[in-house]
């Protein structure tokens, strides 16, 4: 039996181009990083999991791999904080700071370190790492929510719009409106 999500994905309510994109995301093969070094890679994965653990609910979005892919392809979001260096440099600097903090004598846990960074405790005038973390969080939540596992967890069906008529959608909105009363 196919899951309701897969049934919906295969139905004519989903446009072919949307289905292709979502299916590609489900079928992500084993990933070898292109930007991060072998030493950096486990740290990036651990940090991504610390920012957004994928256990409750269980999901399997390859956030770190997609961040690596974007850095390898030099894809950005169209802007960055002027206070930060270009993304490849910012990532390397941040990982170095994180590694050092986690390997010192009385090292904090990764969760505590994250919190400290978010509260600007590791910012320096030349590298406001809290701003880097903000961007990292944005990347992680984006790739997590783009993944079909997460859509299943949220019972998300926004992608199923191919056969919508004005009437269908209004009926759906009416149902919602009733629920709101």
Partner 1 sequence: MTATHRTYPLDESVDAVIIGTGAGGSPLLWRLAQAGLHVVALEAGRAWSDPSADFATDEVAQSKLYWLDERLSGGDQPTAFGANNSGIGVGGSTLHYGAYVPRADPRDLRLHSLQGVAVDWPLDYADLTRYYQEVETFLGVSGPSPYPWDPARSYPLPPIALNTAAHIMRRGCDTLGIKTSPAPIAALSQPYLATGSEHRHPCVHRGYCHQGCRNGAKASMDVTYLPAAVAAGAEIRPQSFVTGIERDPQGRITAVLYDRNGITERQRCNAVFLCAGAIETPRQLLLWQAADSTLPLNDAVGRNFMAHVSTQVWATFPQPTYLYRGFPSTLITEDLMRPDDADFAGGYLIQSYGILPIMWAEQVARSRPLLGQSLVDYLMQYPHVSGLGINGETLPNADNRVTLSSEKDARGLPKPHITLTLGENEERIHLHADPTLRAILTAAGGADLWISRRTAHTIGTCRMGTHAKNSVVGPYGRSWDIPNLYIADNSVFPTSLAANPALTIMALALRTADHFLQQR
Q: Using CB under 8 A as the criterion, what x/- string covers residues 59-88 for binding partner 1?
A: ---------------xxxxxxxxxx--x--
Would you say 69 or 97 has its CB closer to partner 1? 69
Report in angstroms the alpha-carbon separations of 123 from 83, 84, 129, 133, 181.
11, 11, 5, 11, 48
Quickly count: other Cβ atoms within 10 Å of residue 166's Cβ. 7
Would you say 99 or 177 has its CB closer to partner 1? 177
CA dist 113 and 124 (Å) reads 15
Q: Using CB under 8 A as the criterion, what x/- string covers residues 161-180 for binding partner 1?
A: xx-xxx-xxx-xx--xx-xx
Pick from 3, 29, 39, 56 the residue near partner 1 by CB under 8 A. 56
CA dist 70 and 128 (Å) reads 22
**Of 103-162, which residues contact partner 1 (CB under 8 A)?**
111, 114-115, 118-119, 134, 137-138, 140-146, 153-162
Closest distance of CB 30 from partner 1, Å: 21
Q: What is the DSSP letter of 35?
A: S
- Enter the tokens of residue 56: 């409750």
Report in angstroms the alpha-carbon separations of 18 from 93, 137, 146.
37, 25, 12
128 close to 78: Cβ distance less than 8 angstroms = no
Enumerate binding residues for partner 1 (CB under 8 A): 14-18, 20-22, 50-54, 56-57, 74-83, 86, 111, 114-115, 118-119, 134, 137-138, 140-146, 153-162, 164-166, 168-170, 172-173, 176-177, 179-180
């Amino acid at each position: 039996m196919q899951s309701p999500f897969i049934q919906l994905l295969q139905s004519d309510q989903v446009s072919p181009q949307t289905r292709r994109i979502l299916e590609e995301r489900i079928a992500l093969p084993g990933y070898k990083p292109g930007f991060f070094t072998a030493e950096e890679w486990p740290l990036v994965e651990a940090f991504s999991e610390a920012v957004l653990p994928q256990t409750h609910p269980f999901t399997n979005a390859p956030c770190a791999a997609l961040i690596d892919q974007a850095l390898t392809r030099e894809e950005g979001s169209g802007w960055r904080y002027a206070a930060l260096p270009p993304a490849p440099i910012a990532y390397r600097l941040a990982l170095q700071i994180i590694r050092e903090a986690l390997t010192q004598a009385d090292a904090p846990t990764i969760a505590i370190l994250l919190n400290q960074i978010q509260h600007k405790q590791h910012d320096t005038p030349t590298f406001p790492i809290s701003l880097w973390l903000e961007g990292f969080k944005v990347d992680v939540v984006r790739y997590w929510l783009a993944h079909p596992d997460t859509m299943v967890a949220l019972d998300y069906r926004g992608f199923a719009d191919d056969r919508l008529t004005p009437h269908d959608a209004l009926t759906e909105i009416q149902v919602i409106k009733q629920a709101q009363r």
